[in-house]
Structures are given as C-alpha cells and as structure tokens.
Amino acid sequence: MLVPASHGDQPMNVLITGGCGFLGARLARTLLQRGTLAPGAGPAQNISTITLADRAPPPSDLAADARVRYVAGDLNAQIASGAVPARDTDVVFHLSAAVSGECEADFDLGMHSNFEATHALLQACRKLGTRPTFIFASSLAVFGKMPGEPMPALIEDRTLPTPQSSYGIQKYIGEQLVADFARKGFIRGRSVRLMTVSVRPGKPNGAASGFLSGMIREPLAGLKAPCPVPPETLVALSSPARTVEGIIRAAEVSDAQWGPLLGMNLPSLRVTVGEMAQSLERVAGKQAAGLLDWTPDEAILKLVRTWPGNVAAARANAMGLQADTNFDDVVRDYIRENPQAVKLAAVKA
C-alpha cells in the first residue's frame, strides 16, 4: 500500500537532480536558508538532507554544509546503481536536462538525458512505495508555432502544447509521464513550465535562449555579446528568484490547489529583446549597450521564431505567484548578486 513519505516532525530528505547547476544550486541554497518544507500543504518539516545529483561538483558553500550530500555522475547511471533516489527521499526536484540547442544538435543526447532519465527516475520513485512529491521542471518550449499556422494570441495553461523542437517534445513527454505516475498514485506529481530564466550568471550553456542572459551578463563584464534576433522579438522571461519561488510553491500547495495533473505555466515578464537592451543601457550606460552585436543567427532564429512571448499564468497567480514587474530591476538584481562578475567601472562605481 502506498503511504505518504512524510509524517509530522520527521526529518525531510530532498533530492535535486541537476543540483549543482545554477538553478539547482540556487534552489538548494533557498531551501537550506528556509530550513523547512511543507509538501502538499502539510506540516512544515525540517530539512535533514539535500542530495545534489549532478556531473559537476557542488559550489564550495553547498559542499561545506553538513546537510548536503553530493552524488556524482550521469543521472541514468546514478538511478541504475540505486544511488538516487535514496530510500528515505521525500521530495524530488527534477531539474537535470540537456538544453535546447544541445538536443537539436544531438538527438540521442536529448533522449538519453531528458526522456530516459525522467522515465527511470519516475520508476525509481514508484519503487519507493511512499508517494514522494515529484516536481518536474518542464519548459515554455512545450509550446511552439507550427509551420503554416499562426501562434495563439495568448498561451494559457490549457493551451494545446505543440512543441517544435526535440527539447520541447522531450519536456512534454516528461509532463505526461509525471501526470500518469501521479494519476496512478505512485507520486504526488507537479510539472511546472519554466520561462526563459534571465539573467543567469556564469558561463554560456548550449541553450538556444542563452543569449537572453548573455546580452546582459557579457556587457556587464566588459565583453561583446550576440543578439542574434531582431529587437522586436517578444520573449517571456523570469528572474532566477521568481523561478525558484515558483518551483518551491508548486511543491507546497495542496492537491486541491494544484488542480488538474497538467503542466502549469510559471508567471512571465513580457518583454522584447530591444526593451532588454534599453534596460541594460538605463542601468549600466551606453558603454554596456554598445557591446551588443545584432548580427542575425539563422539557427537561433529558427528556434526562437517558434517560441511564444505572450504567456498567461492563471493557475500560478491563484497560488500567489507573480511575474517580475520590470526588466530594469532584474538587471539590478543580477548586479547586486554577482558583483564579482561586473567589470565595467561605471557600473561598479
């Protein structure tokens, strides 16, 4: 018989796949700072252990925390060996994935990292027999402009997903797997559709959307940055802070508040790439904006043209989640949180 994984004041054990990446590490830090989690609107429980499963090692601050456990290697191999999930895992945040550009370039990589790993992790959670809470990081990429068809004027939670990339298709498959495993009672399943996260610190990754962080991050570091799409391109963004807030909120609402076992759109800031450049100039000056290179890149354009920019998040709003109010503040938050990455003298001053 399936029983809830967490009871009363028992210590809570959390697994974050992709836990040493930017978003996973930020989620881990937020949970450690809070100290508690209340899955499914149950009683708040003290977080005993956070397991970070990733290929890369954890940042030093997380490695130094006694509550953090690190499991290294490919996620499929970790699951096959029984290293994750641990028998006492209460909550799983499944963030690990190959990103959009990588999946378009290497079909097998995307299927291995996104489809096979998600399915294997769900099966492993099923075998626990404890109905752990399972939060799946899906993506706005499940929506896409079909060839010869107009993009819907507004993307809502119940808009039919029509992914136009391998990454988007793999994420949509993941949503459906999570829904069915939840329907069968194997997990408490929640799929949250992440918007493009900007501004991400660190080095560029293989995501087609990476330029939406790079066009801010690189100029602030005194480097040129590509803007491979026209300024009028509309995008749906979320800051790192709002994204992590949404992921945690999805874990803590009740089943009734969550509602249908469908993917849920997280709130997004509706902004054009040109307006993002204007925010950079307002916050960091003309020198920063002058480092933007507007040379088109057809490979990026091909994907970006299929992405929606006007996205509603009624379900998330009903749970108390809101979008960032303006991109100027998102840029300022990045500067405040990453002072070591800002090299322009005018900004540092």
Which phi and psi angles does 22 have, rounded to 5°? -55, -55
Domain ranges in the chain are: 12-195+238-265, 208-235+269-310+323-348
Q: Among residues 42, 31, 37, 41, which one has the least CA distance to residue 11?
A: 37
Q: What is the predicted pLDDT for the residue at 312?
A: 97
Which residue among 70, 167, 172, 334 is the active-site one? 167
Residues 47-85: tens digit of each pLDDT: 999 999 999 999 999 999 999 999 999 999 999 999 999
Q: What is the predicted pLDDT for the residue at 9?
A: 63
In the predicted model, is pLDDT for residue 187 greater than 70? yes
As a whole number, the mean pLDDT across the chain is 94
Q: What is the predicted pLDDT for the residue at 348?
A: 57
Q: What is the predicted pLDDT for the residue at 207?
A: 78
Which phi and psi angles does 64 have, rounded to 5°? -85, -10
Q: When comparing pLDDT for 206 and 150, which is higher?
A: 150
> Do 173 and 103 form a contact (C-beta atoms < 8 A)?
no
Say which CATH class 12-195+238-265 falls into: alpha beta
Q: What is the predicted pLDDT for the residue at 295?
A: 96
Q: What is the percent of the chain with per-residue pLDDT over 70, rounded to a whole number? A: 96
Q: Which single residue is written with the structure tokens 């709002």?
A: 242
Q: Give one word for 168, left, alpha or beta, with left for phi > 0 and alpha for psi -120 to 50.
A: alpha
In the predicted model, is pLDDT for residue 236 greater than 90? yes
167 is catalytic: yes
CATH 3.90.25.10 fits 208-235+269-310+323-348, yes or no: yes
Residues 327-346: tens digit of each pLDDT: 999 999 999 999 999 998 76
Poorest-pLDDT segment among 65-79, 129-143, 202-216: 202-216
Band (7; pLDDT cuts 50, 70, 90): very low
In the predicted model, is pLDDT for residue 349 greater than 90? no
Residues 149-184: tens digit of each pLDDT: 988 999 999 999 999 999 999 999 999 999 999 999
